[in-house]
Structure 1
């Protein structure tokens, strides 16, 4: 069983929504450190990588549909580096928190990580709410600021500070989240 789980939240995005331009700019800044963190996590035996992605209201689609839609979207270059491999754990969600109405809580009970690295988008929305739900479930929360993307920079910074202060989240650069 892994001591750490990396949650990759909502990174499979077609970027066809009103605030997509601001989000794409932020994602462009985080995709490299996030991809490196995901790859390092996959290569280790003591880390579980779990993708949790919005289904964008398509209840007829499956995980492959989410991937195809993202790759056919406005910025496939932001999606390709972080694509899940066939052996990655994958869940869909419909609301902000990765825990809300998903199987994540049950999955983590089976995996038994002590620490959750929460990555992805959007810092001031889905990342924040997932961190809160992880904290109330007594997980050690780590958020790498260079592996989460925001829509509004000020709100993103405020969300990181809330996670640090109110949820005891460690804010650690992605390169230092998985020590050798």
Structure 2
């Protein structure tokens, strides 16, 4: 999955109508998610950083938007940032289709963004049906289910 996401990031960096948003967990000790999963990706630690293979380079349309909850839009101001850039559609990649991708898709959906999910850019925990998680995104949020090669062939105003 990481090479696919890296390829999408490279595409976005070379297309001025695209932007890149890194939405990593950056938890505080009192976050509700910590009660469920235990401490992980704590703000200010290496675990909250973007992985080395996808490191931001500080491009003009590239932002890091730390999150404390499953969804990228929850209490982050991301929607307003995307509006400022004129972004209407989002491409959601990463882990995990049945948690963070799902909640981020919901956040995009209720804010009126079009949603695209490349099946080769998402994953689930072992034992979870990724196809079912993807189908949920399609049927409940109207997400366009695609793949990275198709997305790279497209060029519209999106955030990856």
SS at match of 1:85: coil
Q: CA RMSD of the aligned region, Å?
A: 2.0
List runs of 5+ in structure 2 lacking aligned partners: 29-41, 155-160
Residue 46 (1) aligns with residue 20 (2): no
Q: Offset of 1:81 from its aligned partner?
A: 2.4
Matches within 5 A, 1:1-180: 30-57=1-28, 58-59=42-43, 61=44, 66-67=48-49, 79-87=51-59, 88-152=62-126, 154-179=128-153
Mapped contact 1:33–1:175 kept (Cα < 8 A): no
Q: Offset of 1:65 from its aligned partner?
A: 7.6
Deviates more, 1:122-131 or 1:170-179: 170-179
Mapped contact 1:99–1:133 kept (Cα < 8 A): yes
Q: Offset of 1:166 from its aligned partner?
A: 1.2
Question: TM-score, normalising length from structure 1?
Answer: 0.70
Q: Offset of 1:83 from its aligned partner?
A: 1.5
Q: Offset of 1:179 from its aligned partner?
A: 2.0
CA-to-aligned-CA distance 1:105-141 (integer Å, 9 cap, x gap): 2111211212100011111100001101111111110
List runs of 5+ in structure 1 lacking aligned partners: 1-29, 71-78
SS at match of 1:53: coil
Whole-Å separation in 2 of the counterparts to 1:103 and 1:155 = 31
Mapped contact 1:135–1:167 kept (Cα < 8 A): yes
SS at match of 1:134: helix
Q: Offset of 1:153 from its aligned partner?
A: 5.0
* Alignment CA distance shift 1:153-1:107 (3 Å): farther
